[in-house]
Chains A and B, each alone.
Chain A
Amino acid sequence: MSLQHFAQSFVRAYKIAMTPPYGPVMISLDTGLQQEPMRDDGEKPYIPRYVPTSPPQGDSGAVREAARLLANAQNPVIVADRAARTPNGVTLLVQLAELLQARVIDQGGRMNFPTTHYLTAPASAVSNADVIIGLELSDFWGTVNSFTDNGENRGIGQNSTRINPDTRLISICAVELNTKANYQDFQRFQVIDVQMAADAQATLPALIEAVRSAIPNHRKSAIAARGESAKKAYAEMRSRARQAAAVGWDASPISTARMVMETFGQIKDLDWSLVAAESPRFNWPHRLLPIEKHHQWLGRAGGYGVGYAAPASVGAALANRDLGRISVCFQPDGDLMYAPGVLWTAARHKIPLLAVMHNNRGYHQEVMHVQRMSNFRNRVVNTGKDMGPVGTSIQNPDIDYRKLAESMGWWAKGPIKDPSELGPALKEAVAMVKAGQPALLDVWTQPR
């Protein structure tokens, strides 16, 4: 490869990475090119102009059919996962939802829909839907079906549907275009009635217009009434979340709901950005926090992986630093063990980041599965040395994350076990981050 070809390949790689479906691109450069001096062969190398590629939009016929189904539905539900690529994606989704007065389930792959909007709905809202539209869903099957890991069905577990048999399904998902990539992102196969291999955000303007045209006049009062019901359901959902958060509020180890709200208490008047909080099973931020701006939640790894939160947080905090935002991460303990060196990178480059550790002293993705497998065989799974089932605890010795972070140049404190000490410690940590340095609070928490 010549130096000029490298420039072209680099711009091409950037275009591929930045065209939905987004994804990483690797360029492998031969050693010779990297080490040899530039040769003067009469033509000066240049960097080709970057022109963004338009994202793929849904077929017009499929958009019209989707609009027809949505406009005539009794109870349409919108489900969004990695849908809103930019703040405009959130605006468009709010427009579609309000036009239909359809409840929205935000699965949190990105910040798609404000948690303060009355059309926000829990995952269970799919059960009463007659039309469901999925926007960039990583797992449509998992959205409309449930799996119980109960050892039945020859040990595989039990599948059951969560929707009515005649519910119509619509999908707009750019990941359908990934079939020529090195890696695919298929989950279980789900039959879809109207399926568009297209970018959801790019398709939303056409879909909104098509829905507006398709809503019959006689449906408008029913749609308005649906909105009133949604307001009531939303108020009840918020009330239930607060009641659930109050249970165990003064517990030690500290409840994860309290950890989230104590943190929010210290950052609520700042321009904050929650850059990571791994595991879909840790859902307090979405249940309790007013997440209204696109940058207030950056999404999850997407693959139930471990080890994403720490490096992703540092990268996001670097971007947020220049925008004057304070970056916050609820850092799982097991996750930090995968690439702890990133702590040094943050300190070395003075990247301000508040890492509040969700330290449950274990790899909790697996605990219940191991417990099940043992119970089915009437085996005692706990060896008596650790809290959790064999092979899942991070104990004996406990990791001193404060010392780990300090050794890498961070301001750090903990472990904090008494909930009354958490607020004051967070105040100190936020002051450090505002002064421009990374800070870590090791908090011993409840498991979830």
Chain B
Amino acid sequence: MIRDPNLRTLAIVAGLVLTSSVAAAGSAEKGKAAYVRHGCWQCHGFDGQGSVAGSKIAPNPMPFEAFSDFVRTTSGAMPPYQKAILSDDDLADIYAYLQSVPKARDPKTIPLLNP
């Protein structure tokens, strides 16, 4: 057990980075197809932008570990996706796709949003 709180934090961060890099090994291209096939777009939009029915999940998705935990165990409005219907590989690919979504534009640079 790591007793030094600073070292413990470092270990958690290292764990997240490691987990995220494992997830990043997924394929964004396959992930885009899986994202549609598994219905993520229904509430989160095709680009993860979110809507009244679901939160924004891209760009800048949450760390993979938190993302995976939520998808597998949520009990809120979104139903859980267990491995029987969403494999670990598909989940990693979906995460890779969300990571690939480009940064949103600054609303100040969009004239129609500043009439």
A interface list, Cβ under 8 A from B? 148-152, 242-251, 253, 255-256, 258, 261-262, 264-265, 268, 281-283, 288, 290, 364, 367-368, 371-372, 374-376, 378-382, 384, 387-389, 446-448
Identify which of B8-16, B19-27, B91-99, B106-114 touches chain A. B106-114
| Size category, B interface | 35 or more
A375 touches B85 (CB 8 A): yes
| Chain A: CB-nearest residue to B111 | A265
Contact partners of B77 in chain A: CB under 8 A: 148-150, 368
Kindly report which residue of chain B lies nearest to residue A362, judged by CB atoms: B42
Q: In the complex, what residues of A have CB within 8 A of residue B46's CB?
A: 248, 251, 253, 446-447
User: Given the known A-B contacts A375-B80, A375-B85, are A447 and B51 also in contact in the complex, defined by CB atoms under 8 Å?
Assistant: yes
A281 CB contact (under 8 Å) in B45, B53, B81, B107 = B53
Q: A152-B75, A247-B56 are in contact. Are A265 and B41 (CB under 8 A)?
A: no
Given the known A-B contacts A150-B77, A368-B42, A375-B79, are A283 and B52 also in contact in the complex, defined by CB atoms under 8 Å?
yes
The residues of B with any CB-CB pair to A shorter than 8 Å are: 36-39, 41-43, 45-47, 49-53, 56, 59, 75-77, 79-82, 84-85, 104-107, 110, 112-115
State the majority secondary structure of interface residues on A. loop
Across the interface, name the chain B residue whose C-beta is closest to A152. B75
Q: A247-B49, A251-B47, A388-B42 are in contact. List 6 more A-B contacts (CB 8 A).
A: A248-B46, A249-B105, A255-B45, A261-B112, A371-B79, A375-B79
Instruction: Report chain A residues within 8 Å CB of B41.
Output: 387, 446-447
- The complex places the Cα of A256 from the Cα of B52 at a distance, in Å, of 11
Main secondary structure of the interface of B (DSSP, over half): loop
Residues of B within 8 A of A265 (CB): 112, 115
A448 in contact with B82 given A246-B105, A246-B106 (CB within 8 Å): no
Complex interface: chain A residues within 8 A of B76 (CB): 148, 150
- Docked pose: A382 CA to B90 CA in angstroms: 15
A317 to chain B, nearest CB (A): 24
Is A248 touching B37 in the complex (CB atoms < 8 A)? no
Instruction: Name the residue of chain B whose CB is nearest to the CB of A250.
Output: B105
Q: List 26 A-B contacts (CB under 8 A).
A: A150-B76, A243-B104, A246-B107, A246-B110, A248-B46, A248-B104, A249-B105, A251-B45, A253-B46, A255-B45, A256-B51, A258-B112, A265-B112, A268-B115, A290-B115, A364-B42, A368-B42, A368-B77, A371-B39, A374-B85, A375-B80, A375-B82, A382-B37, A446-B51, A448-B51, A448-B53
- Let me know if A379 and B45 touch, CB within 8 A: no
Q: Are A387 and B36 in contact (CB under 8 A)?
A: yes
B39 touches A243 (CB 8 A): no
A245-B51 in contact given A148-B77, A376-B79 (Cβ < 8 Å): no
Return the 7 tightest CB-CB contacts between A and B, nearest first: A248-B49, A448-B51, A375-B79, A246-B107, A247-B49, A242-B107, A261-B112
Would you call A264 and B47 a contact (CB within 8 A)?
Answer: no
Residue contact A247 to B50, C-beta cutoff 8 Å: yes
With both chains docked as a complex, state the minimum distance between the C-beta of A154 and any C-beta of chain B, in angstroms. 15
Separation of A86 and B95 alpha carbons in the complex (Å) = 50
Shortest C-beta distance, B69 to chain A (Å), equals 16
Report A-chain residues with C-beta under 8 Å of the C-beta of B84: 378
- Chain B residues near A247 (CB, 8 Å)? 47, 49-50, 56, 59, 104
Give chain A nearest CB distance to B9 CB in angstroms.
30
Distance (whole angstroms) from the CB of B90 to the closest CB of chain A: 11
Chain A residues near B51 (CB, 8 Å)? 256, 281, 446-448
* Chain A residues within 8 Å of B75, by CB: 150, 152
Given the complex, which residues of B lie within 8 Å of A261, measured CB to CB? Answer: 112-113
Taken together as a complex, chains A and B put the C-alpha atoms of A256 and B51 apart, in Å, by 9
In the complex, which residues of chain B have a beta carbon less than 8 angstroms from the beta carbon of A248? 45-47, 49, 104
* Interchain CA distance A117-B80 in the complex, whole Å: 40
Q: For residue A258, which residue of chain B has the nearest CB?
A: B112
Residue of B nearest to A279 (CB): B52
Q: B71: shortest Cβ distance to chain A, in Å?
A: 11
**Are the C-beta atoms of B37 and A384 separated by less than 8 Å?**
yes
Q: How far is the CB of B89 from chain A (nearest CB, A)?
A: 15
Task: Compute how far the CA of A290 lies from the CA of B45 in the bound complex, rounded to whole angstroms.
Answer: 25
A382 touching B79 by the CB < 8 A rule?
no
Cβ A244 vs Cβ B113 within 8 A: no
